[in-house]
Amino acid sequence: MTDSNHRKPEIPDELIVSRTDGSDQDIEVCVIDVTPSLAEKWLERNRSNRKVREDRVERYAKQIVDDEWIVSPDAIAFSYTGKLINGQHRLKAVIRAEEPAKHMVGTGLQPDAFKIADVGVKRTGADVLRIEGFKSAEEMAAVCRLLALWKQSRLEELNEYENVRNSVIVDVATASQERLSDTIEKIGSDKQALRNKMPRSLMAFAYFAYKPSFPTRAEYFLNGFMFEKNYPAIDWEEEYGEEGAKNPIKLLKDKVRPNYRELSRKAKLVLLVKAMNAYCLEKPMKQLRWRSNESFPELAAEVIVPGLAEDTAL
């Protein structure tokens, strides 16, 4: 180990998203946009850590690439001696994804803190579905969670942490397993089709939700948005007699593509819902936008969530 690895790791100011005040033990915590190059540098401080689980690295990397990554309360941690004591899987995932991702980072901890890291880690919804034998467990859990929130008009909570119980996710997945599997397979048929357009779980949720109420229009929207085919190539201005009217599919693409990294998951879902509402109801729209102080839009589709009663506690 080099002398530099005995010092506190350098954190570029431009990568810091937020920070908290240091404690009386000189422990500091901040949220960092960890880049692949920074992850490689930090992994050089990794000594005598546990064996790497490649399946976990792959799962985390996939979440980063699919824009499904959520900042974990379990920080990437360094001891006051400069040693990496927690977070090797997440750092390796950033490198594998070849994209930056936000992580909570703590420095100045006791070297023995690694002994309590990951103790009693709670199973995620995807973990439970995987144990139950479901395929594509990550995507299915994400879609089931959104369906459960939709059922109770709580979609604005999609960015909150652990607000749907695993048992509810399993109930929804079990009741709609065939249609969910078909939906996820369809959305994932081309891994690049939604890249920098829309997270796959959000697209799968929207397609699943709108399909029963608007079978043809939902199909047209999906194929038009993902593959730019199989939807009527009409002039919306001419078709609906409203000057300046544009195809909601194009409006959604033009809005999300150039702003993909800046838009939150909530903003992306709001824009997707607004575009699908307009498309399925054939309501002309001239522009697509959403302000953070607006209420979450209602889906034009009928709420159908098998396996979940109206009064089910999430």
What is the spatial order of strands in the sheet that 84-86 belongs to? Answer: 16-19, 28-34, 101-109, 76-79, 84-86
Q: Specify the amino acid at residue 114.
A: F
Residue 31's DSSP bridge partners are: 18, 104
How far apart are the C-alpha atoms of 114 and 15, rounded to whole Å?
A: 25
Q: How far apart are CA 273 and CA 298, in angstroms?
A: 8
pLDDT at position 252: 95
Domain assignments of the chain as residue spans, ordered by start: 3-111, 125-281
Compute the C-alpha angle 95/199/56, nearest 5°: 40
CB atoms under 10 Å from CB of 279, counted, come to: 26
End-to-end distance of the chain based on CA atoms, in angstroms? 49
What is the rounded average pLDDT for all residues in the chain?
85
205 token code pair: 């949720």
Give pLDDT tens digits for 79-110. 888 888 888 889 999 999 999 999 999 888 88
The pLDDT-based confidence of 1 (bands split at 50, 70, 90) is very low
Residue 124 clears pLDDT 50, i.e. is over it: yes
Region 7-31: what's the mean pLDDT?
Answer: 69
Task: Answer whether 149's CB lies under 8 Å from 161's CB.
Answer: no
Sign of the C-alpha dihedral computed for residues 228, 233, 239 and 244 taken in this order: positive
202-240 pLDDT, tens digit each: 999 999 999 999 999 999 999 999 987 756 667 888 888
Instruction: Identify the top-confidence range among 11-25, 118-132, 173-187.
Output: 173-187
